[in-house]
Homo-oligomer: A and B are copies of this chain.
Amino acid sequence: MQEIAIIGIGQTKVQESWDKSIREIAGEAIFAAMLDAGISTADGLFIGNMMSAFTSRQENLGTLIADWIGLQGKEAFKIEAACGSGAAALRMAISAVSSGEMDTVIASGVEKMSEISGSEITAALAAAADADYEAIHGLSFVALNALIMKRYLYHFGWKHEDFALFSVNAHSNALSNPYARLHNKISVDQYQKARMISAPINLLDASPTGDGSAAIIVTSKSNLSNFNFSGKPIIKIIGSASATDYLAVHDRNNPIWLSAAEKSAKRAYAQAGVSPNEIDFFELHDAFSIMAALSLEACGFANRGEAPRIALNGDIQPSGKIPIATMGGLKGRGHPVGATGIYQIVEAVQQLRGTAGTTQVENAKIGMVQNIGGSGATIITHILKAD
């Protein structure tokens, strides 16, 4: 692939934004990214979003937002891959630049979930699963992940409490991230006593949803000389790959192995010419603590069935061997589903620029980012490098 650089980032605080419409939230993140890049226009816009139909009764979302930000005339589409929509939009932006058709492109993700009630959100999120063979039986999205976690605990002999540090680390890292939804430190004891949602997943295993948007500006390496970076390091995308799996969990050969994560990570490693031990931090998709564990294993950071151990060892903290959720992850920053994939990229850029604040990973040069749509069905991996 042609080398692509990220020249601007922007994000909004993940929260309930009762006073802003979906276009306004998206605009806020995009304008911040354009300001960061020092640009006033772009050649195209790809918006990651899963549920604007359910929550805002709005489609044609690409054009809506292009119109709002003054990009009338330019190409703009919405890209949907459930909770992986953000990274999917980035895939399309990279493709548009790699093909030579566009020079500078906005990849953004936005979700406004607070428009509808909790039970409606639960039903809408189930659209990420198989509507005809999973959701129809009343399996909510958290219930699907609970089945996976239950099987994992049974198969490898771990206890629920052994997952505590995934959530403790995420909440701790979110504390100093002003864009994070949650700013409460939690203890192992609090994790163990949290309200049950769908056994064995309790409230502190699950990420909070919310309203939010994140945006990045990408351009081709050959176009970089047109920009003034004022000393900011250039962040390059050196790996970008996507893979799918059987959508329904019951169809998979092994429900506790993320084969789409393994496939997309292997492709991204090959493109980047790096191996897992060269990755300085990993922004993974910890929608549920079990997903953090499965991602670490599928991507080669832990042996099968060993992910809880590396959490217990402290390896996932900002000072550890493979820091994850460094700005809070989905668990602490929040999970505005179609926007999450771009939040992850923005946070990886913050790390690689050395502007991640109190949770800065020391000497971070290469970061990996992984976004998941459905319970492991659509998995997109990016590897970024500070030049």
Contacts and interface: CB of A to CB of B under 8 A. Distances in A.
Given A1-B99, A92-B77, A50 B59 contact: yes
Interface stretch (A130-138, A206-214, A295-303): A130-138
Given A62-B81, A81-B78, A126 B57 contact: yes
Most B-side CB within 10 Å, residue of A78, A91, A99, A244: A244
Instruction: For the complex of A and B, list the 6 residue pairs with the smallest distance between their C-beta atoms, beginning with the closest.
Output: A98-B99, A53-B53, A60-B82, A58-B131, A78-B80, A59-B127
A22 to B, nearest CB: 9
A57 B127 contact: yes
Given A75-B91, A242-B75, A247 B99 contact: no
Interface in A136-176: none
Q: How large is the interface on A (under 10, 10 to 19, 20 to 34, 35 or more residues)?
A: 35 or more
A57 B135 contact: yes
Tally of this chain's copies: 2
A193 interface: no
22 contacts: A1-B100, A50-B59, A51-B59, A53-B54, A59-B128, A60-B373, A61-B80, A62-B244, A63-B81, A63-B373, A63-B378, A66-B244, A73-B244, A73-B263, A75-B241, A75-B243, A76-B244, A95-B95, A95-B101, A98-B99, A98-B100, A99-B100
Given A75-B244, A92-B92, 14 more contacts: A53-B54, A58-B132, A60-B247, A60-B374, A63-B245, A63-B247, A63-B378, A67-B245, A75-B241, A76-B81, A77-B81, A77-B88, A77-B378, A98-B101
A101 B373 contact: no
A95 to B, nearest CB: 4
A113 interface: no
A66 B251 CA distance: 14
